[in-house]
Each structure stands twice: as C-alpha cells, then as structure tokens.
Structure 1
Amino acid sequence: MKHLVRFLQVSLFGLFVTVWIGHVAIAPATAHWADLAVADITVADTAVDITLTVPTTVLAFADDNNDQTLSSLELAKHADQLEQHLSENIVLTHQTNPPELFTVTPALTPQTKDRATHSTFLLQYQWPQPIQRLSIRYNLFSPDLEQAQCLATITQGDRTRNIVFTPENNLIEIADTLPWQQQFFSFLQLGVKHIFTGYDHILFLVALLLPGGNLSQLLKIVTAFTIAHSVTLTLAVLNIVTLPTPLVESIIALSIVYVAAENLWRKEIRHRLWLTFGFGLIHGLGFANILRDLSQSQDNLLLSLGSFNLGVELGQITIVLLVFYGLRFLQKQPGELILRNGISVLMVLMGMVWFAERAFAAGL
C-alpha cells in the first residue's frame, strides 16, 4: 500500500507537469511583443499628443483581410470607426473637462518582421485653457491577449515618467508631477508578470534546476542567470547591444533544448554555472524587448530598469522555491528518475517546436 501511494503521488505530479508543459506548448511562439502597446505621451500647455502603437488585433474591425496589418485602404474605409473607437477607449480629461478638439492621424511607419502585427497612430487632444490636472484612462485592451498592457512614456516640460497601463490599473492622474512610486510599482508588477507569463524563461529555469541539488547550489545557478541577463538587459535598453528579436527568441528556444537534453546524458553538471551565465546573456536580450521602445531620460531609465529587473528577480525566486520543494518531494520516490527524464524529453520537444516556429517566422 505504501508503494502504491508513493507511485500515485509521483504519477499525479508528473501529470501536473505534463499538463503545464502542454499548456505552454500552445502559447504564442513569441509573446514578448505580440500583446504589448507603446504610447509616447507629450503634455504641452493646452494640448496633449499621443503617438500610439498597438496590436492590430485590438482594431480587428478595421482589418478586413485579417493580415494583422492596416493598409491605407483599410485606414481610409474605417477612419470614422477608428476615431470613435480610440476616443472611447483612451479618455483624457482636464479638470473633468473633455478636450474640445480630438484628431486621429494614422502613422504608416516601417514595420520590421517581428513587429508587423502593430499599427501606429497620432492622437491629438486640445483644450482652450492651460492644463493643470490631467487624467488619462486607457482601456484599449483585447481579452484575447494574455499579457495585455501598454507601456507609456509621459513627458511634461523637462519631466519624464514611465507608467504601465493594464486592465487592472488603467487610470492615472497627472498634476504638477507624476509620483516616482507609481512608476516604480508599475514596472515592478510588469517584471513579475513578465517572468510568470514568459513560458520560455520559466522552462529554461526549470530545466536548469531539474537535476537537483541543495538550495544554495540552486540559488548560485539562478544568481549567474540574474547577473547575465541584467547585463544584457541594461546594454540592450541603452541600445548599446542589439540583435534581431526573432534571432534572440530562436536562440532562447535552443537554450531550452540544450539544457534539457544535457539533463539526459550528463550525471555531473559542474559547468552549469558558466553555461547558465552564457545563456542568461541571451535571455537578457529577450527581457529587453519589452522596454526598448520607451523614451527615457537617464534618471527615468534607471528607475524603470531597476524596478522591472527587481520584479523579474522576485518572480524567479518564487519559481526556484517551487522547483526546489517539488524536487524534494520527488526524491526517494519510486520512478523518480524516469519522471525526471520524461520531463526533460518533453522540454526538448517543446524547445524544438518553439525553435522551428520562431526560425520559420523569422525566415532564418
């Protein structure tokens, strides 16, 4: 009976992991940009300009041929609908007064392969009196986008702040200054959310930790990953180091394949610290894609980057603890080695599927 109970426990744990990896398998191949909107908001004396880039899926009614790109003909045909839809979902009020003038101008900017699913507009708002207290309500989200969010840069005179709009936090008020705490917690939450919905990063971490070890060893591995991705995250956001997003995403998928496959044939993995550091440099470029489009001053950049990175680390620590205690549960259980190898095989297959999807999409 005791062995039967242990077998059922291991089987249920394996079933949970398999279901989770199956859920990951149907996740988008590149999720770092697909559901992200970016807004550059400039507040002047009596006017506000917003340069807005959004996933075309939130404007699906204007995409007649469903190619996720709005052509000149589609923009002209649906001009009135677009203006109404944008005015209803991005609402600006100055001392409870709506703008007296609102215009929408499509911006047909060149699109790279990895960002050909977005559309850009210039939204202009104007009031007869000087702006003293402004509120912005952003609600241009699609329920089909898992990580729906809008990264906004707000410039008012010589002051710049960043904010993240989400379906849960879609309203900000701008008085003379925008509190730094609002920016800090906004990007902290973004970092946590990004790691927990970044299935490729999670799978890579789990593959690294799967061979086991004590908590100190696991934390050293994750620390190497943290240092590496922090370096390239900073360099990429500063535009010192840049690589095409599809290439980065493809290498991230290969990193999962390699580490998971190594779990099958190597009994000792003392070199894993350096391997983790090397692949962490690539993963940092993946993290950076979500921040690179923000216009930032130096001080503002440090706050956004630091709070985002802290959020990522909090998420990673949570994942490490979950994996550590999950592995402890598996130790000395019948079939434990078979289950570990089975999970590694599933990870190899998942990484190969992602690599094929990403490489094909990028034309590599």
Structure 2
Amino acid sequence: MKTTWRRYRLLIVSFLGALLLSITWATPSQAHWADLAVAEIAVDKTQTAMTLTFPTGLVASADDNRDGQLSDAEVSQHQTELEHFLGDRIRLVNEQGQAGVVAVTSSNNLPPNIQSNANTHTTLELTYTWTQAVTGLTINYNLFLPNVPTARCLATVIQAGKTQNLVFTPEKHEFSLISGSLWQQVSSFVVLGVEHILSGYDHVLFLISLLMVGGGLGYLLKVVTAFTISHSVTLSLAVLNIVTLPVQFVESAIALTIVYVAVENFWCKSLRWRWLLTFSFGLIHGLGFAGVLKEINIPQSNLAVSLASFNIGVEIGQLAIVLTAFFVLRVLQKQPWELTFRRFVSACIIAVGLFWFVQRAFGLS
C-alpha cells in the first residue's frame, strides 16, 4: 500500500511540476506570424518587384506612433532609411555582380498569397532596377528577427510565366531567381518540413508519448507508418482547401490527442490496435502541419513537388525523433526504475498537453 501511494505521489508531484514549468516556459508550437514573412517576387527584364509582408519590429524606428504597422505617411517620412536598411538585407545581384537600385513604397493591394496581420506586420513594395536587361539574378535574403531560428520568409517567384516557391531561412538564404533549378525548391521545402516537425513541440510530444508504453521495432514501424499515412492525407487535403477547419479548433484538438495518449499509457496493456489510434489522431495532426504551407498560395504546377518535399522533410525529422527516443528507452529497459520513469514522462506530457489545450481553446496564447 505504501509503495503504491509513494508511486502515485511521485506521479502527482511530477504532474504539478510539469504543469508549472509549462505555464512558465511553454510557447505555442503551432506556426504563427510572429517570426514569419511572406513575399511575392515578380522578375522582369530590367526590374524586379517584391511585395513583402514582414514583422514591423524589424523597422521599429520608422513606426512613429508605435501601432505595429507602417502607415503611408511613415513610409514616406522614412523612405531613405527604409531603402538603405531593406536594400542592405535583401540584395538582388545580376550576372555581372551589380546590385539592383531599390525603391520602397507602401503597398495596399496585397496579392492572394499575402496575408496582413494588423499590429504586427507591414507590407511594402520593393522595386529593384538595372540599366540593362538581366540574364542572371541572385537574391540574398537576410531580413530575419535576430536570434530566432524559426524565422523564415515564404516566397513565390514569378519569372517568364513560370512560378517557383522558395523558403528563406537564416541558414539558407541565397537562391537564383532566373532559371533556378528544381533542386533549390525541393531542398528548401525539405528543410522547412524538418524544421516544422522539430520545432513543433506538440507533434514531438505526441510521438514520444506513443513510445512510453514500450514495444519493439514492429510496434514502432506500425505507429510511424500509420502516423505518416494519416497526416499526409489531411495535409494534402488542407493545402488543397478541400478540408478546412478553424485553426483554434485544430490546435486545441492536437493538444487533446497528446493528453489522451499520455493518459492511456497508464492503463494500456495491449499494443495490438494502437496503430489505429495513431492513424486517427494523425489525421488531426496533418491539419496542423498544413498551417505553414497555407500561408502561401502554392501554384498547381508546383504543388506536387512542394508537398512531397515538405512531407519528406517531416518524415526525416519524425524518424530522427522516434529512433532517438526508441533507443534511449531501450538502454533504460533493464533499469529497476524504468516503469517509474515512463510514467513520470507521461505525467509531464499530460500536464503540458492540458496547459496547451487551455491556452489554445480559450485564446490565452
């Protein structure tokens, strides 16, 4: 009796401790606009126009009234300053190494792939010009919030009637805008997929929670396959706008899937049908994965490549997570405190999942 009470007292303490830590440190894991920029880049012979929506905090000195957006008057007042700052951080260079001369103006007519978030982002038109037609053009994009590894810019490039989608990150920020290879699009979306799963802490906790009940490689294979198939289905349907659900609902439901699996870990005795549970919950997680891709309007001609590349990136990150967790648990398998450790981790995951659910369901983030 004392042993049982001691065990559950440990679980209660770990639950409360994890809850306090999650309240203090937890950050919303869904993709959101705080560190995101979106661009549409139209390349012409002697001129390239970029419609850019980016965090206003990057040009806070031009936001005179501190309302989180640059007005037409503020852009006009600080035009020289903005042209110097943005021209230095977003450089377009032709085949002869000549940088385009940039002009910055306000933009009120947003293209379909641009969303405007009041009080956080500003949309500007950047126009780069050269004295003669360019045959080669390279962009070096370095407009990121400092010390934010998840910062990125999702860009649609239109050139000679063709479109290409690129993802700029602090690590990968230089691309060719004329006759760019298919590989640069594939690689950028693979990287985006890897980053999305690794920085999506809710998806990570869901996968780790599935492993807390033990199981061999057969169980691991079933779980990973079920999750991969299900989230790939709903990811594709969501990006195609065939299935659309409110973001708040999806993110709250994802938090509940984490809580349910972690709670089930305390009484689950058979792993035979757990792959089916994973498949069902994976459908919900797929809608969460789609969020970042829906920020840009991927053309039909690029959709298959972008989706496949993003999915490959997600799977690479997913395999890295589950294999690491699986082998760590294997090492701990013979320890006398292994079961207590698994329950401790599950209790912590329940606490974090509940906190995320309350945070998302009631709009507290």
Normalised by the length of structure 1, the TM-score is 0.84
Task: Supply the distance in 1 between the matched residues of 2:361 and 2:71 (Cα, whole angstroms).
Answer: 26
AA paired with 1:98? A
- Aligned pair in 2 of structure 1 residues 111, 47: CA closer, same or farther (>3 Å)? closer
Q: Which moved further from structure 2: 116-125 or 282-291?
A: 116-125
The reply on whether 1:200 has 2:202 as its aligned counterpart is yes
Q: Say which SS state the counterpart of residue 239 (structure 1) adopts.
A: coil
Residue 25 of structure 2 corresponds to 26
- Aligned pair in 2 of structure 1 residues 138, 24: CA closer, same or farther (>3 Å)? farther
Cα deviation for residue 335 of structure 1 reads: 1.7
Residue 188 of structure 1 corresponds to 190
Q: Could you report, residue by residue, the CA deviation over 1:228-276 in whole angstroms, capped at 9, with x for unpaired residues?
A: 1101111111122222223222221121111111112333344322221
Cα deviation for residue 332 of structure 1 reads: 2.9
The reply on whether 1:347 has 2:346 as its aligned counterpart is no
Residue 315 of structure 1 corresponds to 317
**Gapped runs of 5+ residues in structure 2?**
1-13
Task: Supply the distance in 2 between the matched residues of 1:217 and 1:259 (Cα, whole angstroms).
Answer: 15
Kindly indicate whether the alpha-carbon contact (under 8 Å) linking 1:246 and 1:362 is maintained by their aligned counterparts in 2. no
Q: Say which SS state the counterpart of residue 241 (structure 2) adopts.
A: coil
Residue 90 of structure 2 corresponds to 90
- Aligned pair in 2 of structure 1 residues 64, 200: CA closer, same or farther (>3 Å)? farther
The reply on whether 1:143 has 2:142 as its aligned counterpart is no
Normalised by the length of structure 2, the TM-score is 0.84
Kindly indicate whether the alpha-carbon contact (under 8 Å) linking 2:215 and 2:271 is maintained by their aligned counterparts in 1. no
- Aligned pair in 2 of structure 1 residues 37, 111: CA closer, same or farther (>3 Å)? closer
Task: Supply the distance in 2 between the matched residues of 1:268 and 1:73 (Cα, whole angstroms).
Answer: 66
Task: Supply the distance in 1 between the matched residues of 2:22 and 2:174 (Cα, whole angstroms).
Answer: 32
Task: Please point out which of 148, 154, 159 is paired with 1:156.
Answer: 159
- Aligned pair in 2 of structure 1 residues 65, 104: CA closer, same or farther (>3 Å)? closer
Cα deviation for residue 348 of structure 1 reads: 0.7
Kindly indicate whether the alpha-carbon contact (under 8 Å) linking 1:25 and 1:350 is maintained by their aligned counterparts in 2. no
Cα deviation for residue 280 of structure 1 reads: 0.9
Residue 38 of structure 1 corresponds to 38
Cα deviation for residue 203 of structure 1 reads: 0.6
Task: Supply the distance in 1 between the matched residues of 2:46 and 2:73 (Cα, whole angstroms).
Answer: 33
Q: Could you report, residue by residue, the CA deviation over 1:25-81 in whole angstroms, capped at 9, with x for unpaired residues?
A: 724214413322221111122221112122333334345676655566765665543
Cα deviation for residue 82 of structure 1 reads: 3.2
Task: Supply the distance in 2 between the matched residues of 1:88 and 1:196 (Cα, whole angstroms).
Answer: 31
Q: Say which SS state the counterpart of residue 244 (structure 2) adopts.
A: coil
Kindly indicate whether the alpha-carbon contact (under 8 Å) linking 2:137 and 2:177 is maintained by their aligned counterparts in 1. yes
Q: Say which SS state the counterpart of residue 322 (structure 1) adopts.
A: helix
Task: Supply the distance in 1 between the matched residues of 2:166 and 2:127 (Cα, whole angstroms).
Answer: 19
Kindly indicate whether the alpha-carbon contact (under 8 Å) linking 2:75 and 2:106 is maintained by their aligned counterparts in 1. no
Q: Could you report, residue by residue, the CA deviation over 1:190-245 in whole angstroms, capped at 9, with x for unpaired residues?
A: 21122111111101110112111011211211111111110111111112222222
Q: Say which SS state the counterpart of residue 265 (structure 2) adopts.
A: helix
**Gapped runs of 5+ residues in structure 1?**
1-14
The reply on whether 1:49 has 2:49 as its aligned counterpart is yes
Residue 304 of structure 1 corresponds to 306
Task: Supply the distance in 1 between the matched residues of 2:236 and 2:173 (Cα, whole angstroms).
Answer: 27
Q: How does 1:212-251 map to 2 (within 5 A)?
A: 212-251=214-253
Residue 329 of structure 1 corresponds to 331
Cα deviation for residue 116 of structure 1 reads: 6.1
Residue 281 of structure 1 corresponds to 283
Q: Say which SS state the counterpart of residue 132 (structure 2) adopts.
A: coil
Task: Please point out which of 155, 165, 168 is paired with 2:168.
Answer: 165
Cα deviation for residue 156 of structure 1 reads: 0.5
Report the number of matched residues.
Answer: 344
Task: Supply the distance in 1 between the matched residues of 2:29 and 2:74 (Cα, whole angstroms).
Answer: 26
The reply on whether 1:103 has 2:115 as its aligned counterpart is no
Cα deviation for residue 356 of structure 1 reads: 1.9
Cα deviation for residue 293 of structure 1 reads: 2.8
The reply on whether 1:61 has 2:61 as its aligned counterpart is yes
Q: Could you report, residue by residue, the CA deviation over 1:118-149 in whole angstroms, capped at 9, with x for unpaired residues?
A: 33222222223222111111000112423111
Task: Supply the distance in 1 between the matched residues of 2:173 and 2:185 (Cα, whole angstroms).
Answer: 13
Cα deviation for residue 351 of structure 1 reads: 0.9
Task: Please point out which of 106, 118, 122 is paired with 2:121.
Answer: 118
AA paired with 2:277? L
The reply on whether 1:133 has 2:136 as its aligned counterpart is yes
- Aligned pair in 2 of structure 1 residues 210, 154: CA closer, same or farther (>3 Å)? same
Task: Supply the distance in 1 between the matched residues of 2:79 and 2:269 (Cα, whole angstroms).
Answer: 63
Q: Which moved further from structure 2: 63-72 or 157-166?
A: 63-72
- When the two chains are superposed, the root-mean-square deviation of aligned CA atoms in Å is 2.9
